[in-house]
Amino acid sequence: MALEDDIAFFEQVPTFAVLGRQALHVLAIGAETRHLPSGAVLFYAGELADGGYVVQEGSLLLEPGTFTEGQAYTVGPGTLVGELALLTDMVCPSTAIAKEPTTVIRISRSLFRKMLEGYPQAAEKLRAIMSERLQAWTREVAAVKQRLKQE
């Protein structure tokens, strides 16, 4: 894909859409594309994560790790996998396996942080999105807690 195509693709990814075209230009220049054959493992649960991946084509099966609860699920084009790893040190909670020939775009944490440093307005927009999500999760947890008290 050409640089402009990568930028247009990133504009379709919900977390990236708010960052602005100039910030996405930086990400598109520094990102790397990986092609995975069907059945290939992108990363394993428990590995240190140093960035995120956007599924460009194909799909990934995300299988929970040994110490992670939940069900396996599939993600497809436009999905950002490892969003928190763009910002902080963490381990992968799941194993990502290509369900078919799959193309992902890898964005390293160092690239993402440099982009945020260079575009503080993008950092502020991202902070606002994450704050809204945290508030929504807090409300959901409070609702579950309330239901559990009633049982």
Q: What is the 3-state secondary structure (H, E, C) of 33-65?
A: EEEECCCCEEECCCCEECEEEEEEECCEEEEEC
How many Å separate Cα 124 from the centre of its chain? 18
- Sheet of strand 102-108: strand arrangement: 32-36, 102-108, 51-57, 80-81
Query: 147: pLDDT confidence band, cut at 50, 70 and 90?
Result: confident
User: Distance between CA atoms of 51 and 32, rounded to whole angstroms?
Assistant: 11
Does the domain spanning 3-150 belong to CATH 2.60.120.10?
Answer: yes
Query: Which whole number is the average pLDDT over 104-120?
Result: 95
How does strand 48-49 pair with strand 41-43?
A: unpaired
Largest CA distance in the chain: 56
Residue entry with tokens 């409070």? 142
Contacts of 133 (CB under 8 A, 6+ apart): none
CA 37, 38, 42: angle at the middle one, nearest 5?
70
pTM of the model: 0.85
**Domains of the chain by residue range:** 3-150
Query: Which whole number is the average pLDDT over 25-38?
Result: 96
Q: For residue 25, what are its two tokens?
A: 């230009």
Query: 67: pLDDT confidence band, cut at 50, 70 and 90?
Result: low
Radius of gyration in angstroms for the set of CA atoms belonging to the chain, rounded to a whole number: 17
Evaluate if residue 146 carries a pLDDT over 70: yes
Mean pLDDT across the chain, nearest whole number? 92
